[in-house]
């Protein structure tokens, strides 16, 4: 009976193929190419000399059988990498190459946007080239294949074929979830619908509710139920428990019949209409409002349109990780310039020779995944396909993969007038729904929240809203990222948040941070206390959903949220 090879003996690459001279020659052409982007020769020579020195040391250590130090990188943290000399060498060589390429990108001369694009492109290439992503170079996957007698490879191929049929990379066990059954389960009803959205009203959980209802406008680039994943982390349920009569916009997932919808349509026929219906149902003259991400941009635009018409329907405005001033927006700025916007306008926008089209949800989801490729792409390539491990159930990743389409004209307007030309912040520059916009005319007090590690809406970008809006404002900074920072229920006792020592909001986020005080736990209680101060007196909770001509159409979460892109 043949003995199974030990991890150290598992098949791996031939280290003789990676001699320092060959590696230097292989990188030579790339060095010449990058040198064409005007890297100072002195810096380039220094990087090349440093690379050759480190590569030679690595090569000599490998030839003499020295145990290489374990890389401080979780992709290579498994015992199989350190136990296999070839695997250990390849991992260390890859990390050396990656560092060198990143250093080269940092040395490129040019404007900041060009340099940032080069760094991003290099990082994408570096992440894709990791030896952990390839079966022949991954000793963990090879050992698993040997131990399972090829079963792991067979399962991996089955999962690859399944993802090909689904049209996307699986990040979770999608069969484990169903909207309305074990996600988006807060009890409520659809009390209004048109072709753009359904309006959900949630069943009160208190005997009395505040007289002013709360309307939530989630982003239209995702499904609303990020605000209602599970009962224990649902912002919707939390607001209901605090005694608010909660209404939520559930956007329609656009299909071909919706491809001509414009930004004006989303403002007039959705956001403004939702505000009007909530007022009619509740009988309240003003309502508390909340917008999340793009939903906050839509809500702010709608309130500015109404302000231009002499209406002030908002008693308060909450903006969660929302952009209004698009001066600098982190990594997303890399994708937007005049050429890229014109391309969209000519392919799916109103200027398209073939007529308007849809931005497919999967395209948008893939773009966002590649902002963090190791976590959201290659991690699953390795696990799903190389190791044959089915991804575990995870509600957040199920929501993340439940993508939505966007109408081309709406998307192109948004790209040009916000990300590219940053006109939303300038009074009178834009006309929406026939009105000149001035966000400074919104009189309602505003609660502005940013997440410190947010790569979609950098927190200093969220802070800039304090300089555009003119009403009384409060800014709070939470720990973590775009989603985890927002969805942080108090009961979990996780993370922290920062509040300014005074109500003053200086010109820059850095100035504000100098005097901000960190507090343990969720920011939700701070927001709840602030919101209660604007919600009015208490009254008996309604016994039935809807009212004044608006009857329950169907139970929440409704049909629209179940439509697939």
| Residues with catalytic function | 293
Angle separating helix axes 20-35 and 41-63, nearest 10 degrees = 160
User: Rounded CA gap, 214 and 288, in Å?
Assistant: 5
CB 521 within 8 A of CB 495: yes
Strand-strand pairing, 188-193 and 208-210: unpaired
User: Rounded CA gap, 235 and 246, in Å?
Assistant: 11
User: Rounded CA gap, 341 and 416, in Å?
Assistant: 6
CB 187 within 8 A of CB 180: no
Where do we find the tokens 């350190």?
82
| HSE-up of residue 453 (Cα within 13 Å, Cβ side) | 10
In 344-396 the beta strands, taken as DSSP E runs, fall at 358-359
In 280-405 the beta strands, taken as DSSP E runs, fall at 287-292, 314-320, 358-359
If phi > 0 it is left, if psi is from -120 to 50 it is alpha, else beta; for residue 433 that is: left
Q: Considering only CA atoms, which of 271, 332, 275, 268 is closest in space to residue 298?
A: 271
DSSP per-residue letters across 319-385: EES--S--S--GGGGGG-SHHHHHHHHHHTSTT-TT---EE-HHHHHHHHHTTSHIIIIIHHIIIII
Angstrom CA distances, 64 to 7, 24, 354, 539, stand at: 19, 21, 65, 80
CB 115 within 8 A of CB 45: no
Q: What single-letter DSSP state applies at residue 471?
A: S
Strand-strand pairing, 516-520 and 496-500: antiparallel
Distance of CA 174 to the CA centre of its chain: 19
The helix or strand, by DSSP H or E, that contains position 517, with its residue range, turns out to be strand 516-520
User: Rounded CA gap, 410 and 232, in Å?
Assistant: 35
Angle separating helix axes 85-107 and 112-128, nearest 10 degrees = 170
User: Rounded CA gap, 316 and 474, in Å?
Assistant: 11
Q: What are phi and psi of 318, to 5 degrees?
A: -115, 125
Angstrom CA distances, 272 to 152, 180, 305, 413, stand at: 53, 27, 9, 18
Angle separating helix axes 85-107 and 20-35, nearest 10 degrees = 20
CB 138 within 8 A of CB 156: no
């Amino acid at each position: 009976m043949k003995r199974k090879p030990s991890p150290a003996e598992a098949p791996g690459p031939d280290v003789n193929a990676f001699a320092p001279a060959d590696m230097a020659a292989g990188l030579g052409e790339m060095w010449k190419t990058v040198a064409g982007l005007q890297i100072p020769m002195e810096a380039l020579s220094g990087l090349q000399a440093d690379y050759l020195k480190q590569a030679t040391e690595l090569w000599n250590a490998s030839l003499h059988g020295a145990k290489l130090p374990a890389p401080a990188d979780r992709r290579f943290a498994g015992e199989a990498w350190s136990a296999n000399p070839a695997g250990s060498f390849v991992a260390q060589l890859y990390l050396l190459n990656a560092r060198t390429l990143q250093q080269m990108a940092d040395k490129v001369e040019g404007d900041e946007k060009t340099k940032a694009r080069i760094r991003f492109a290099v990082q994408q290439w570096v992440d894709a080239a990791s030896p952990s992503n390839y079966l022949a170079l991954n000793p963990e996957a090879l050992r698993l294949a040997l131990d399972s007698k090829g079963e792991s490879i067979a399962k991996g191929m089955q999962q690859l074929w399944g993802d090909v049929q689904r049209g996307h990379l699986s990040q979770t066990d999608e069969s484990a979830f169903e909207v309305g059954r074990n996600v988006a389960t807060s009890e409520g009803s659809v009390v209004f619908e048109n072709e753009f959205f359904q309006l959900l009203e949630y069943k009160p959980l208190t005997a009395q509710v505040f007289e002013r209802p709360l309307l939530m406008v989630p982003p239209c680039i995702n499904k609303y139920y990020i605000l209602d994943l599970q009962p224990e982390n649902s912002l919707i349920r939390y607001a209901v428990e605090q005694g608010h009569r909660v209404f939520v916009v559930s956007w329609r997932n656009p299909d071909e019949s919706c491809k001509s919808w414009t930004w004006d349509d989303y403002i007039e026929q959705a956001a403004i209409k939702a505000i009007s219906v909530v007022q009619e149902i509740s009988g309240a003259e003003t309502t508390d409002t909340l917008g999340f991400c793009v939903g906050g941009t839509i809500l702010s635009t709608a309130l500015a349109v109404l302000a231009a018409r002499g209406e002030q329907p908002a008693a308060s405005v909450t903006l969660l990780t929302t952009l209004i001033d698009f001066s600098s927006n982190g990594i997303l700025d890399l994708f937007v310039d005049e050429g890229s916007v014109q391309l969209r306008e000519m392919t799916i926008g109103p200027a398209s020779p073939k007529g308007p089209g849809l931005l497919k949800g999967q395209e948008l989801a893939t773009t966002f995944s590649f902002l963090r490729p190791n976590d959201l792409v290659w991690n699953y390539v390795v696990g799903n396909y190389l190791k044959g491990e089915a991804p575990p159930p995870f509600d957040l990743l199920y929501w993340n993969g439940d993508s939505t389409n966007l109408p081309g004209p709406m998307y192109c307007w948004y790209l040009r007038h916000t990300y590219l030309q940053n006109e939303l912040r300038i009074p009178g520059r834009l006309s929406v729904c026939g009105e000149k916009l001035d966000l400074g005319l919104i009189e309602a007090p505003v609660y502005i929240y940013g997440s410190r590690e947010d790569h979609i809406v950098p927190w200093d970008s969220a802070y800039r809203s304090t300089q555009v809006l003119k009403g009384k404002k409060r800014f709070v900074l939470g720990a973590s990222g775009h989603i985890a920072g927002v969805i942080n229920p108090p009961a979990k006792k996780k993370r922290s948040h920062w509040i300014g020592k005074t109500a003053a909001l200086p010109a820059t986020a850095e100035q504000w941070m100098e005097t901000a005080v960190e507090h343990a736990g969720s920011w939700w209680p701070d927001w709840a206390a602030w919101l209660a101060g604007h919600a009015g007196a208490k009254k008996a909770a309604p016994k039935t959903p809807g009212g004044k001509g608006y009857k329950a159409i169907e139970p929440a979460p409704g049909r629209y949220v179940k439509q697939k892109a």
